[in-house]
Structure 1
Amino acid sequence: MVRVGSRDTRPMIVAPSTLRAAESGAAGALQPIAPLLHDTSLTEIMINGPDAIFVERDGRVLLTDRRFADENHLLSAIGALVASVGRRMDLSDPVLEARLPDGSRLTIVLPPVAVDGPMVTIRKFATSPYGIDDLMAASQWRPPAFSGRPSRLAPTC
């Protein structure tokens, strides 16, 4: 929820103090993305408005069927995320970069910087590190080709 403080005329996002409270609270601010937050097969969650929630799975970006009721619901979820990292956002500081309690990277951009409305990115990390075989299978890495010539860094005799 966005609330204007009595002394400060800038909107300030306020919300429950933890992600768990927001997920299970009466408002259920994070309910639309709660399953995504717990899905270990996802590497990124991208929210580009109340009805545009994308995920990255296996290197592919997919549009989900998850939705927030409206922009106020999205702002409540943003408030819950901001509160979970013990930070504050307002119009004078519309960009937040932080780590969620589980270690995921959180980036939030609010208007006027985000001209089309609030945007959120949550970059999750694999539960087990990728090995060389995983990277090769995903076409993310290939061994260097051997040219038959010694490397310039190799010692010369």
Structure 2
Amino acid sequence: MWDKYLNRFPYKWRHLRIRAEASGLAINAHSAGVQEIDVKGLQALSEKLAHSVLNKLGLVYDSEKISDIEDAILLTLIKEWGTKSYEFQLDRELTPTEIETNKLKKIKFKHLIKAHCYFGLKSNSTTQDSLQHLKCHSGYYGGSTSVLKFLLRELGL
């Protein structure tokens, strides 16, 4: 799903939380949910680190380079750093027709999936980290049933 939706219009992928342990470092980072700014939490951290890398290397600011560096940082944190759990949300920007239909509701995005993924890396533990599972968010995202339907569509089943 990462390759299909991350940084691909009309989708908006947000990294919300990560818990990981590797190389003697434990990471527990989550987005604070500040609504006033578009870039938040883990994405704000990766953007700041990307700017620091470009500055240190004496490279000219380039939005494409920044985006590539951010993706590499997030990929490392989320996929390659002993991740115990990861939470994200995926939304799709509405088409002009859909926006017109939802004008009174002021909705701009269709909520596709919001889930906290547990990877089951601590099999001898009595915590949620012992079992590979998804904690699916209800409300706008419809809970487990909506997530299951979304995932089945993704798998082509």
Could you state the TM-score of these two structures normalised by the residue count of structure 2?
A: 0.23
The structure in which a higher percent of residues are strand is 2
Q: Which protein has the larger Cα radius of gyration, Structure 1 or Structure 2?
A: 1
Could you state the TM-score of these two structures normalised by the residue count of structure 1?
A: 0.23
